[in-house]
Amino acid sequence: MPVSSRGLEGIVANTTRLSAVIGDKGQLIYCGYDINELAGKVSYEEVVFLLWNNRLPNRRELSECEETLRSLRQLPDGVVELIKNAPKNANPMDVMRTAISMLGMYDPDALKEMSADANKQRARSITAKIGVIAAYFHRARQGKELPPVRGDLGEAAHFLYLMSGEEPTKEAADTLDVAFVLHADHGTNASTFSARVTISTLTDVYSAITSAIGTLKGPLHGGANEGVIHMLEEIGSEDRVDAYIEKQLAEKKKIMGIGHRVYKTLDPRAPHLRNMAVKLSEKVGEPKWIKMSERIAQLMKEKKNLNANVDFYSATVYHSLGIPTDLFTPVFAIARCSGWCAHILEQLEDNRLFRPLSEYVGEPVGKKVVPIDERP
């Protein structure tokens, strides 16, 4: 008998070699590596190679991967014009989604040539360009010129450079690089599932990534980190934290960045981001954000036995790096793009169209049509 589960909770929809989220142990695995083994030890580009090849690269392979990504950063002129002409108040995720979709129009063979090599090249191209799209829109909406892409910076450093127009410090680049590593993949989350469902129809890669971006935009998924900063801004100061939490809990409202759908213990990514948030807050002289965060985390652990998740501390990290709040989710998308692409490529290796059942709970069959003039 078919099993009915709202939100597909507890349902295994596919097999994957890419990542595993072990909720009861608070463990995240990429291709056999615990995230704690990777974070701070390998670069984001190494993780990209790992997800796409099921192993870490040697020095030559890493150099080739980096050079390939850097060589594919240039956007088509039409996409640049789209970014320049987008409404200045547009949601950056909408611009990213539309620009990625538009890239598909510059690939006339997107549906004709679906070989593994061709799709892997598309994955490289999209992964290389997605950060440029986000940074260029941020510049364009401020009326600033768009810096030319460079081929001498890693993915994290290049994004920060394009966004600000200045080469970032090594500390800033390294911090964002670790954040990219932590966000690269996360099992069959909503956006990854969306990408796999879309590509399972044998549509093109651009359409699948567009689906994923649209899914990530939601406040219950990637948009949660923006909600954390809005919450901290609403609270305003550390001495108001306790009253705010009491009021939210009394009104049964959600505390952004606390708890997780899968993790039943601590999100393993959170401690890494917390440590970076502490260092950055001290560096930029804005300790109130991390102090407020720490108090919220303490209260929620004491009162609800809930832990902070990856969004809770990533918000403070991004804020301390000078990234605007409405770019938090696009930054998430930049990092996760490599994971989406990996899942798309894996899905196509042994594809089967997703077609789940639904449980009908409507009225019993047998109703008769009443002529329109006789209906009440």
The enclosing H or E element of 34 equals strand 33-34
How far apart CA 19 and CA 6 sit, in angstroms, is: 23
Architecture of the domain whose range is 224-320? Orthogonal Bundle (1.10)
User: pLDDT at position 309, please?
Assistant: 82
User: pLDDT at position 126, please?
Assistant: 98
- Provide the residue ranges of all domains of the chain, joining segments of one domain with +: 32-173+184-218+336-349, 224-320
Name the catalytic one among 183, 267, 311, 343.
Answer: 311
How far apart CA 228 and CA 234 sit, in angstroms, is: 10
* Residue 260 appears among annotated catalytic residues: yes
32-173+184-218+336-349: in CATH 1.10.580.10: yes
Contact (CB, 8 A) for 330 and 97: no
Please state whether beta strands 33-34 and 19-22 pair in parallel, antiparallel, or not at all (unpaired): unpaired
User: pLDDT at position 280, please?
Assistant: 86
pLDDT per position as a tens digit, 119-150: 999 999 999 999 999 999 999 999 999 999 99
Where would I find the H helices in 217-269?
224-235, 241-250
User: pLDDT at position 13, please?
Assistant: 84
User: pLDDT at position 285, please?
Assistant: 65
pLDDT per position as a tens digit, 41-55: 999 999 999 999 999
* Residue 138 appears among annotated catalytic residues: no
Two structure tokens written together for 335? 């990092």
How far apart CA 259 and CA 229 sit, in angstroms, is: 16
User: pLDDT at position 21, please?
Assistant: 92
Amino acid identity at 97: R
- Name residues of the chain where pLDDT drops below 50: none
Name the catalytic one among 183, 260, 272, 343.
Answer: 260
User: pLDDT at position 16, please?
Assistant: 96
